[in-house]
Structure 1
Amino acid sequence: MVKKLILLIAFICIFAVYCYPSEWFEKNKELSVVFHKNVWLYIENANKEDNIGKWKEADLWLSKAEKKIEETRPFIAGSWPSGWPYDAEALVFLKYATPDAYLYRIIGDYAYSHKKTKEALDYYNRYIVHSIVPDTSYMAKVAEIYEKAGMLKDARIMYENISRVIEDKNFHGDVFTLQYLNRKIKNIDIKMKKCVLLPLDVFFGNIPDFIKGDFQKIFIDEITGMKNFSVVSKKDLERVLSEEKLTESDLQYPDELSTIGRALNVDYILRPSLTKIDEYYIFHIDVFDPQKKSWFDNYEYKTESYEYLLNLIKRFVSQFQGEDISENLLLPETEFLWEYEIDSPATDLKLSANGKRIIVGCENGSVYIFTSKGTVLRRFKTSEKVLKVAVSPCGEYYGWGSLDGMVYFADAKGIKWTEKTGNYIRDIDISQGGRFTVFGINNDVIFKDIKGETFWKESLPQWITKIKITENSHRIFVGMENGEYWCFSDEGNALWKKNFNDKIVDINTSENYNGAVTAKGKTFILDSEGNEIFNFESGEKIQYATSEPEIIRLMSGKKGKCFYFLSKDKNQLWEYNIREKINFIDALDDGGLIISTESKNIFAFRIIWK
C-alpha cells in the first residue's frame, strides 16, 4: 500500500511538471504560429527538460533551434523560407519582428528565468535590434536590468531610445509617458554625477503668514541635505540676475530661466508652490531642464492638516532622488466604500471586532444587520425605539434593547431569547461566540449565557453608562454616570473599583489592559489589576516610545470629538476630527473599515495610506 502511494505521488509530480509549462515558455507560446513546426518542437522540448530540472538538455534544445534558424535566415517577404508560416495568423506577429528576433526573445526569457543576466541581456538586445517595430516592453525590461546591474549609462541610453520611439509613435508594447521616462533618466543622472539645483522661491496661495517663512526655510534645508546634490544659494542667483539684467519676475519665461540656469551650471530648476484649496494644502513642484528649455516633470502632494507639511517636503525629497516613499511618510486618506438609507434615523451602531458585521438600531424599532460590503443580511422589527445594540467579536450574534424594556438576543437565523426588564437598557455587550451577554438596566448589571439563563445580577451605586465584556468573557467592565469604573469577574465578583470623576462613555479591552474614556475625552489605561498605566486627553500629543503595541491599539477609537486610528506601522495613532453631522461612528482600529451614521444614512469608508 505504501509503495502504491509513493508511486501515485511520483506520478502526480511528473504529471504536474509536464502539464504546467515554464513561465518563459508560457508567455511566448502564442509565437508558435511564426515558427517552423520542427523548430517549435525544439522549443517545446526545452520547456519539458527545464520543467524536470534538466537544464543542460534544455540549453541544447534551444541551441538547436537557434542553429536551425540561423541556417534559414534571411526572412524576406519576397522569398520567405519554405515551411515557415506566412499566413494571416502569423502576420499578426511578423509585422513587428521576424522569427529569428522572436527566438532571441524566447532564449532571453529562458536565460533570465535562470538568473543568467549577462546572457539574457545579450539575447534581449538581439531581439530589439532585429525587430521591425520596437518593443517598448522589452526595451524597458532591458533598461531595468541595466539599472539593477549598475550599468547606468546603458540604462540611460535605453530609456532615451524608448522616449524617441514613443515620440515617433513607432512602437508596440507598453505605453510609457514621457514624464515617466524623463524622470527615469533624471534619476539615473543623479546617481551618475553630482547635480546642481536651483530652487526658486515658494509661491504661496491662500496660506497663512505664520506658515510661509518656516515652510520656505524647511524646503531649502531639506533639499540642501540631499545626497549627491549641491544647491545654488539665493545670493548667487541674485548675482547672476543682476549680470544678465533680469529680475525674479522674468523667471516665469523658459528662455530667461534657461539663460540663468546655464549661467549657474544648473542641472535642474525647481519651482515649488503651496496653496490651500478648500480643506486641502497642496504642495506642487515643477522641474525645469535648462538645457532643453522645458518643464519636464512635476510632483504633487496634499494633506488636510498643516502639521504634515514637513511630511510633504520629505516625500518630494525621497521621490526626487528616485527613492520610494518610506512607510513612515505615508499619510492616511479616507476612501468611500458604500452607503445605505435605512427606514428611520439611527439610534445606535456597532461594528464587530473582525469587521464582518454591522448592527444598526433605529427610532422606529428596526434593527439592521449588514455585511462589511453593505448588504442587508437580516432585518428585525420591534414595537418600540431601539436604545442600544451589540454584536459579538465574531459577528455572528446580536443583541439590542428597546424603549419598552425588552432585551433581545439573536443570530442570523432569528431571535434566540428575549427578556422583559421593565426599565430602559443602558448598554449591552456580547462575548466571543455569543457565549455570554451582559447588559445594564438603570444601575443593575445582568449576566446571561447563550441560552438566556441569568448567571448573576449586581446592583451598582449609579446608573450605568457603558458595559464591556472581554472576548473570553472572564472580565466585565462597567462605567457609570459619576465616573465610577468597576471590574467584575465572570462569577459576578467585584475585583476592583476606580472613579474618574466624569461620565464613562466608552470602554476598550485587550488581553492584558483595559481603557475607560470619559465624556470630556480623557482616556485612562489600566492593567488587569486596576493599576493606572497612564492617561491622555483627546487632542493632546501622545508619547509612544514606551508604549506596548497592545496599549497603542487599545488607545484607538472615539475620544471626545476625535477618532484615533492606528498608523501604518501600528506604532502610533492618527487623529481625526469627527464631523458634527455624524450621530454614531465605529471602526476597526486600523481604519480598515469605518461605519458612521447621519440620521437615516449609513456610510462606510476605509483608511488608505498614500
Structure 2
Amino acid sequence: MKKIFILAMMLILTAVSGNLWCQSWYTQNTELRSIFPSNIWTCIEKARDYYNSGDMELTEKFLRKAEQLTLAAEPFNPKNWPSHWPRTQEAIDIIRYAPPSAYIYRILGDYAYERSRPKEAIKYIKMYLNLSYIPDAAYLYKLGNIFESEGLYSQAINTYQELLRCIDARNVHNRAPSLSTINQRIRILNARIEPQVVLILDMRLQDLPDYLQNAGSVFKEKVSGLGKQYIVVSDQVLDKTLAEQILTRKDIINDIEERAKIASLLNVKYILEPFTVKIENMYIFQVRVYRAGQKDPVETYEYKSENYEFLPNFFERFFIQFQGEQIPDALLIPENSYQWTFETSDLVTDIAVSKNGNSIIAGCSDGRVYIFSRSGRIQGTFKEPDEIVRVAISPDGKFVAWASLGGRICLAENLRIVYQSKVKNLVRAISISENGKFWVYAINEKIFFLDKKGEVFWDRSVSDWVKNMRISADGNWVVAGTTTGQLVLYNGEGNIAWSKNLGSQIENIRFSPEIENISACVKNNIVYVFSISGVETLRFTLGDDVRFLSFNQDILDSVCGIWNRWYYFPDKERKKIWYYQIDKSVRVADSASVVNFYSLGKGKNILTYNVIWK
C-alpha cells in the first residue's frame, strides 16, 4: 500500500507536450472561416457534413472544389485582393502568416492525416509550410511526428532541428512544444539510428539527511540499465580516463571545459547531470541533459515533493520519460489540486461535505452558517445568535442541518428551513439520510430519530455523552459513538443490533457506500471496521499502511475519508489506499465519499482540494 506524510505535495515535470492536433480536421481549422469567401467555406462545410455521414467520395469532391476555388484567386497579396474575399481585421491577422492557398493545403493535410494517409499528409503539410510567410511551430512539430511514425527518422530529426532554429530566431507562430520536448525527440531518434553513448555525472546532493546520501548511487544504478539504444559509460572506464587526464569526477562536474574534453575522449553524445536538494521542506530531484560540448542543457526533468520516500519513484519516472515512454499508472502519485478558499466571518467550527462533493456546509463561532457549491459559490447563508457547534448535510446535498451553542437546531431543504426547535442542552451530533427522509441528532447521551417534518419516531439513551453519530443513507440504521468508547448500532425501529466497547473516545463514524460496513475511529488513532452484523473485518492505526486480508471494494471505500488528522483516499483504480497527514492548524475537515475531494476549516478560512493523479 502507499502512503504520504504531508498535506500538500507538488510534482512538477518538464512534460512531453500533448498532441496538438487531436481534434478533427474541420474543428482544427474553424479559425480559417474568417479568411475564405462564403462559396469556398460552404464547400468545406459540405465536406465536413459528408465526412460525418461517412461519404468520403463527396467529402473529397468538395475539398477539391474548395482547393480549386482558392487557387483561382492566386496570386493573393494586398495589391491583388479579390473583391469578394473578406478583408476584415480578423482575416488580415491570419493571412499575415500565410496566403489562403497555404491554408487550404493545411486543411487537406489535416484531412489526410485523420484518414491515416501519412504520405499525402506529409505532401500537403510541407506545401503549407513552404508557402507560409512565417513558419508554423505546431505544424513543423506535427510534420516531424508524422515522419517519425513512418520510420523516416532522419527527416524527422531535420524537421525538429528546423523548428529549433525557427524558435531560436523567434521566427515562428502558433503553439510550439517546449524546447526540452523537441530536443528529447531528436535524442530518441538519434538513439534509434545509432546507439548513443551517455555519461552520468555523480549526483549533486545538498542539505540531505545522512540516510539519503546514497541517492546518487541508487539513481546511477537505475539509469545504467537503459536499453540497447544507449551505452552508459561505466565508472571503471570513466575513472581510468580521468586518471589519465589527471582529473577527478568532481572536476568534470564543476568545469564544463574539462567535461567536454572527457566527453570527446569517450565519444559521449549526451551527459546527464543529476541533482537532489532539500530546500525548506521540499525535496527537489532534477536531471539536466546536455549534448556533449554544449554549455546549456537541452532537456530538463524536475520532480518535487515534501516526501523523500518519493525519490525512488522519481528515479523510475525519469528512467521511463528519458526513453520517451509514458508514465504507467503504477507510478502515478497523488497531488493536491487547490480548488478554492473562502474567508468566513469568524472561526470555522464545523464542516460537512455531501457524498459527491457538490455541496458543503460550514458553521462559524459567530453563529453564521454557509452553504457552498463545489466550485465555491455561496448558495445561501443563515445566522444564529450564538456559536454553531454542529452541521450536517444529506448525501445528495439537498438537506442541511445545524445546531447552535444556545440549543437551537434547524433542518433546511434547498435552503429553506423546514424544521427548527429549541432544546435545553448541547446538541452533540447531527446526521441526515438521503433526501432528508430521516435524520437524527443527539443531546448529551440521548438520541432522537425524526422525519423531515420533525416528528420524533423514537429516542434512545446511550451510556455516556454522544461524541459522533451517523444515520445510513437509506435511513435504516443509526450508529452512535460515545466519549467513553461505546459503539452502538440501532436499526430503523430503534432496536439495538449490537454494541461494542472500543475503549477510547470515538471521534468519527462512517457507513460504507453499500451500507455493508461501519468504520469508527477512536481518539488513540485506531480505526475499526465492522460488518453490519457486528463482525470486526479490519483494524489499523492511522499513519500505517492499510493491509487487507482479501480485496473488498466496500471495505476499502469504508476506510476512505477524514480520520482525526489523517485523510485516507483510494488510488486511481480504487484498489489501494493512500493517505495525507493533515496540518495541526486545521480544526475541522470532511471529505466526499465517492470522489477524492475534501474541505478544511483552518481559522476563519475554508480551503478545498481535489486529489489528482500525475
What residue identity is the alignment partner of 2:605? N
- Counterpart selection for 1:521 from 520, 525, 536: 525
Distance 1:411 1:94, change over 3 A: closer
User: Which whole-Å CA distance do the structure 1 matches of 2:263 and 2:52 have between them?
Assistant: 57
Aligned equivalents of 2:232 and 2:319: distance in 1?
13
- What amino acid is the match of 2:313? N
The amino acid across from 1:296 in the alignment is: V
Contact map agreement 2:356 2:594 (CA 8 A) in 1: no
1:62-97 deviation line (CA, Å, top 9, x unaligned): 556667888x79849799799997989887666544
2:306 partner letter: E
- 2:283 is aligned, of 268, 281, 284, to 281
Name the CA distance, whole Å, in 2 between partners of 1:608 and 1:86: 46
Deviations 1:255-279 (A, max 9, x none): 2212111222222111111111111
Structure 1 counterpart SS, 2:145: helix
| 1:235 alignment partner AA | Q
Against the structure 1 CA distance between its residues 571 and 52, is the aligned structure 2 distance closer, same or farther, given a 3 Å change threshold? closer
The alpha carbon displacement at 1:403 in A equals: 3.0
Q: CA deviation at 1:172?
A: 3.3
Determine if the alignment matches structure 1 residue 534 to structure 2 residue 534: no
**1:219 match:** 219
Secondary structure of the 1:197 match is strand
1:83–1:554 CA distance, 2 compared to 1 (3 A): same
Following the alignment from structure 2 to structure 1, what is the Cα–Cα distance between the partners of residues 96 and 50?
31
- Partner-residue secondary structure (3-state), 2:213: helix
Q: Which amino acid aligns with 2:36?
A: S
> Do the aligned residues in 1 keep the contact of 2:33 with 2:41 (CA within 8 Å)?
no
Q: Partner residue of 1:6?
A: none
Distance 1:545 1:273 in 2: 40
Q: Counterparts in 2 of 1:64-463, with a 5 A limit?
A: 75=75, 96-98=97-99, 100-213=101-214, 215-228=215-228, 229-251=230-252, 252-292=254-294, 294-463=296-465
- 3-state SS of paired residue (1:108): helix
The residue type equivalent to 1:417 in the other structure is Y
- What is the distance in 1 between the residues matched to 2:25 and 2:546? 55
Instruction: Encode CA deviations 1:491-512: one digit per residue, 9 max, x unaligned.
Output: 1111122221111111111212
Is the partner of 2:463 in helix, strand or coil? coil
Cα drift, residue 473 of structure 1: 0.9
Give the partner amino acid of 1:234: D
Contact 1:446 1:457 in 2 (8 A): yes
Cα displacement (A) at 1:522 = 0.5
| Structure 1 CA distance for aligned equivalents of residues 392 and 69 of structure 2 | 74
Secondary structure of the corresponding residue to residue 36 of structure 2: helix
1:464 counterpart = 2:466: yes
Q: Which sections of structure 2, spanning at least 5 residues, go unmatched?
A: 1-23
Measure, in 1, the Cα distance between the counterparts of 2:555 and 2:343.
36
TM-score, normalising length: structure 2: 0.86
**Matched residues in 2 for 1:308 and 1:137: separation?**
34
Amino acid in structure 2 at the alignment position of 1:144: N
Amino acid in structure 2 at the alignment position of 1:516: A
Q: 1:474 to 1:147 in 2, by over 3 A?
A: farther
Shift of 1:427: 1.0
Task: Give the CA deviation at 1:174.
Answer: 2.9
Q: Check conservation: 1:405, 1:425, Cα contact below 8 A.
A: yes
Q: Which moved more, 1:416-425 or 1:313-322?
A: 416-425
The letter of the residue matching 2:231 is S
Counterparts of 2:258 and 2:370, CA distance in 1: 66
Are the counterparts in 2 of residues 595 and 603 from structure 1 also a CA contact under 8 Å? yes
Counterpart CA distance in 2 for 1:38 and 1:411 is: 57
Q: 2:20 is matched with which residue?
A: none
Alignment deviations for residues 346-389 of structure 1 (CA, whole Å, 9 cap, x no partner): 33221222212222223333333233333333332333433222
Letter in 1 for 2:126: N
Cα displacement string for residues 164-212 of structure 1 (whole angstroms, at most 9, x for unaligned residues)? 2222333333344433321221232334443332111111111011111
Shift in alpha-carbon separation, 1:242–1:375, aligned structure 2, 3 A = same
Equivalent in the alignment of 1:558: 562
Alpha carbons 1:367, 1:380 under 8 Å: kept:
yes
CA distance in 2, matches of 1:339, 1:42: 50
The 1:87/1:373 distance shift into structure 2, 3 A limit, reads closer
183-192 or 498-507, which moves further after superposition? 183-192
CA-CA distance at 1:490 after TM superposition: 0.6
* Aligned residue type for 1:208: P
- Counterpart amino acid of residue 406 in structure 1: R
Identity, in percent, stands at 31
Question: Whole-Å Cα distance in 2 between the matches of residues 541 and 55 of structure 1?
Answer: 57
Contact in 2 for aligned 1:259/1:290 (Cα 8 Å) = no
List aligned pairs for 1:6-21, cutoff 5 A: none
Contact 1:392–1:398 (CA under 8 A) maintained in structure 2: yes
- Superposition deviation, residue 452 in structure 1: 0.5
- The answer on whether the counterparts of 1:281 and 1:306 sit within 8 Å (CA) in structure 2 is yes
Q: Which amino acid counterpart does residue 520 of structure 1 have in structure 2? A: N
- Note if contact 1:335-1:605 (Cα within 8 Å) is conserved in structure 2: yes
Measure the CA separation in 1 of the matches of 2:116 and 2:383.
65
Partner of 2:11: none
What amino acid is aligned across from residue 464 of structure 2 in structure 1? Q
Shift of the 601–112 alpha-carbon distance from structure 1 to 2, 3 Å rule, reads: closer
2:182 maps to a residue whose letter is L
Of the three residues 596, 600, 604, the one matched with 1:600 is: 604
Cα shift readout 1:533-569 (whole Å, capped 9, x = no counterpart): 1100011122257332322221122334322222333
Q: Structure 1: which amino acid aligns with 2:346?
A: S
Query: Which residue does the alignment assign to 1:5?
Result: none
**Aligned amino acid, residue 111 of structure 2:** Y
Deviates more, 1:98-107 or 1:41-50: 41-50
Higher relative contact order (CA 8 A, sep 6+): 2
Partners in 1 of 2:444 and 2:185 — Cα distance?
A: 67
Alpha-carbon distance in 2 for matches of 1:260, 1:21: 50
Identify unmatched segments of 5+ residues in structure 1. Answer: 1-19
When residues 247 and 84 of structure 1 are mapped into structure 2, their CA distance, relative to the original with a 3 A threshold, is farther
Q: How many residues are aligned here?
A: 586
Counterpart of 1:56, as a letter, is E
1:203 to 1:45, Cα distance in 2 relative to 1, 3 A: closer
Which among 458, 479, 482 is matched to residue 480 of structure 1? 482
The structural deviation recorded for 1:42 is 6.7
The 3-state SS of whatever aligns with 1:295 is coil
Taking the aligned partners of 1:338 and 1:603, their CA distance within structure 2 comes to 6
Question: Contact 1:254/1:294 (CA < 8 Å) preserved in 2?
Answer: no
How far 1:27 sits from its partner (Å)? 5.2
8 A Cα contact 1:274 1:282, kept in partner: yes
1:103 to 1:556, Cα distance in 2 relative to 1, 3 A: closer
* Residue 3 (structure 1) aligns with: none
Q: Is the 8 A contact 1:328 1:568 kept in 2?
A: no
CA distance in structure 2 between the aligned counterparts of 1:101 and 1:386, rounded to whole angstroms = 67
Residue range with higher mean Cα deviation, 526-535 or 75-84: 75-84
RMSD: 3.2
Change (3 A) 1:592 1:38: closer
| 1:507–1:41 Cα change, 3 Å | closer
The offset of 1:407, in angstroms, is 2.7
Q: Do the aligned partners of 1:515 and 1:524 also contact (CA within 8 Å) in 2?
A: yes
